[in-house]
Amino acid sequence: MQIEQEPNINNIQATRRSNFLGKIFEYIFYFQCVFTIVLTSFFAIRGIFSNDDDHFHPVMWYPPSLTAIGVSAITAFLLQSLTSRNPFKAMKAIFWFMSPIATILLGSLIISVGNGAGFGTGILVVISGIVISLNGCRVIPRLAYAIDVLSHSLDHTPPKKNCIIFLAILASVFYSCFLVAGIGGIATTRTRIDEFVFVPVILLCQFWTMQVIKNVILVTVSRVNYKRFKNSTEFDTFVALRETLRDSMGSICMGSISVPVFAAIYGFAQTMKLLDVCCANCCFGFASKLVSYGNRWGFVHVGEHRKGIVRASMDTLELLKGSQLEKVIGSDLNATLCFLCGVAGGSISGIAGGAWALAVHKSYVIQISLYAFLIGYYMGRIAMAWLHASVMAYYVAFAENPRSIVFLNSPIPGQIEDIRRLENASSSSRSQIREEFRQQIRDQIEELVRTDDCNARRELNL
């Protein structure tokens, strides 16, 4: 196997043609980091030395909050470890048990506060948990394919990936502790401008920073795995990380804002189209255009070809459409898996912090639970970023060279054929085809269960 340590000449030339807009976003990102440090330091110091507010008790605020951060880090690392070791068990546990049950328990905890705000917030959280559980039943027909793709994507696990994940989670823990200290300091004043201006500003800065950390892992790992899938070459993971931080931060900072915003607009437009709302088609067309300028698939080319996020998003989306993969990736569940891992991690963290707050000071339960949920969600997404990057690199490499020997046993061609058969079938024969699909899925799941049992017995014998 060829070992590649340095980027080729084309990549060096592409690096020198820096994206001006990306550089602006990079400088803005560094500025907001400094601004957040100064702002939270000010509020934290003011909170420590303030004795004017008898309603705020630091001893009852900080231990539950910091404990929730620790729980979120441990949960995130365990979730990604479970998924990488046993995708089949992880899919079942996260879709059907961990995510919905933890969310419902978090909602029940918030309801137990006993006031109107707690009841309203808790009901919304419980409803979200029920929706997640119903979605887990709805996606059963797509489960076998998603597990198959994830298993093939993880055949090439990046070396030293645990070190990168550990460093990212460690940085997130320190950053989150810093922000919690600042928010605790804001709670000592209880003024409107502090609660309704500075807290949202801090949370927005946290969102952007956590997205950047996640996408740095996404770009780094997708580059390493893309080289393996595309050229069967091996690239040092730490070299990829260093070059990502040096050359691609502008695109990552810009994409960390544009990609989630465009995805949210696209999801809203899809909902309007399903409900047949007035102007739904116009909104959906506009949202589809936005997504072509910023989507998660573009991060693969950001890492490998040093493109700006806009050009990379347009190129990768066009590549996937040209390879008839657009509907295939729409039916894949691995992005949903990463999202639900974040929800599960956030809910478990919220329960840990909220339960402690309920025991010592009931009025802190809602705040601590929601802040802990956000932190746990971000931690979960960061920990799962390398798995998501592996799947993305697998799809993009397949789109560029589907006849490669690497994809000899790939499940993607079969999925393309199944979707094509279903689309071309008449309405009378679609039910028969769906029944055939269900039977195939049952057989695949039974085979996965048998394989899993055999592996478990082999490990016990060893």
Give the chain's end-to-end CA distance (angstroms, integer): 30
Q: Name the phi and psi angles at 438, rounded to 5.
A: -60, -40
Q: How far apart are CA 348 and CA 345, in angstroms?
A: 5
Report the C-alpha gap between 390 and 83 in whole angstroms. 13
Q: What tokens were used for 175?
A: 């950053």
pTM above 0.95, yes or no: no
Token pair for 100: 């919905």
> What is the distance between the alpha carbons of residues 381 and 349, in angstroms, rounded to a whole number?
14
pLDDT of 154 higher than 60: yes
Q: Nearest CA to 303 among 406, 378, 396?
A: 396
Asked if 60 contacts 357 with a C-beta cutoff of 8 angstroms, the reply is yes
**In the structure encoding, which two tokens stand for residue 142, read together?**
């797509």
Lowest mean pLDDT across 9-18, 201-210, 211-220, 364-373 = 9-18
Contact 102, 348 (CB under 8 A): yes
pLDDT at 27: 94
> What are the start-end ranges of the E strands in 118-256?
233-235
Q: Which residues contact 389 (CB under 8 A, 6 or more apart)?
A: 217, 218, 219, 220, 221, 222, 225, 299, 300
Is 40:343 a contact under the CB 8 Å cutoff? no
Whether 448 shows a pLDDT value over 80: the answer reads no
Asked if residues 371 and 183 have their Cβ atoms less than 8 Å apart, the reply is yes
- With DSSP H G I counted as helix, E B as strand and the rest as coil, what are the percentages for the chain, rounded to 5? 85, 0, 15
d(CA 194, CA 453): 56
Phi then psi for residue 2, to 5 deg, are -75, 135
pLDDT value for 462: 40
pLDDT in tens, 40-59: 999 888 877 775 556 677 88
The CA distances from residue 22 to 215, 380, 451, in Å, are 14, 27, 47
Residue 419: predicted pLDDT: 84
Per residue in 307-357, pLDDT (tens digit) is 889 989 999 999 998 888 988 998 889 999 999 999 999 999 999 999 999
| Non-local CB neighbours of 43 within 8 Å, separated by 6+ positions | 181, 182, 183, 184, 185, 186, 194, 198
The whole-number average pLDDT for the span 200-227 is 95
Residues 266 and 238: beta-carbon distance below 8 Å: no
Confidence (pLDDT) at 455:
52
d(CA 28, CA 308): 17
